[in-house]
Amino acid sequence: MKPLILTLLLGLALPAFADRMPPPANTPASYKAECSSCHMAFQPALLTANDWRKTMNGLKDHFGTDATVDMPKQQEITSFLERNAGDISKLGSAGEPPRITQTARFIRKHREIPVKYWKDPRIKSAANCEACHRGAAEGNYSERDILIPELR
Ligand code: HEC
Ligand code: HEC
């Protein structure tokens, strides 16, 4: 009985920090429609609920763009992100305005990548996950699916 419960608990906890982070099955269509035109639809587990709330409250000036959505979608997307958000103890602070790429977890996972790659014309920005992770949109961050040959 005990080992079974442990296995179940581990199974539930694992996706939060493994290299597989599939988008939640209950992802509303509005999230994809409104949040994946300029960059990929980031998995909710990549930021804390508090940082998603800040992001969603600041869409009017979103990294130099206007990414506002209508009120029903604003509420739907915010509550989806909050419900599926990551844990502060694993992610760490995301800075102001919140950036996935500023979390301690992101920095730790990428610390072996030479600085020049973040500005490489093939990549342009650390937030451009799909430039390096072929399966990022499906939540696949496995080492085996890195597109840049020198980084494999
Ligand atoms: C009009 C274009 C546009 C839309 C629409 C948009 N974003 Fe962004 N987003 C940006 C830009 C530009 C950046 C900065 C990217 C960079 O630094 O490379 C960004 C960055 C982000 C980041 C920080 C990434 C990082 O770690 O550096 C998050 C989180 C984010 N967006 C969430 C969202 C969410 C949630 C939505 C939907 C409500 C959304 N975005 C819609 C343009 C957009
Ligand atoms: C410059 C290329 C590059 C970009 C851009 C990039 N990554 Fe990575 N990422 C890597 C490499 C290379 C590794 C493998 C490091 C290792 O496993 O030693 C990695 C590892 C990871 C891991 C850990 C996988 C594991 O096995 O634990 C996660 C999660 C991750 N990246 C998420 C992201 C997210 C989310 C973004 C965008 C916000 C992103 N990465 C942007 C290159 C990149």
31, 34, 36, 38: which to mutate for ligand 1, most atoms within 8 A of CB?
A: 38
List the structure tokens of 118. Answer: 């973040």
pTM for the whole structure = 0.91
35, 62, 66: which to mutate for ligand 1, most atoms within 8 A of CB?
A: 62
> What is the rounded radius of gyration, in angstroms, for the C-alpha atoms of the chain?
16
Closest atom, ligand 1, to C-alpha of 103: 26
**Tens digit of each residue's pLDDT (9 = 90 or more) over 108-139:** 999 999 999 998 999 999 999 999 999 999 99
Mean pLDDT of 85-109: 97
Return the domain boundaries, the chain.
28-147
Structure-model confidence comparison of residues 2 and 52, the more confident one:
52
Q: Is the pLDDT of residue 17 over 50?
A: no
**Tens digit of each residue's pLDDT (9 = 90 or more) over 44-79:** 999 999 999 999 999 999 999 999 999 999 999 999
DSSP string, 72-140: HHHHHHHHHHHHT-B-HHHH---TTTT-GGGSHHHHHHTTTS-THHHH-TTT--TT-HHHHBTTGGGTB
Q: For position 20, what pLDDT does the model report?
A: 87
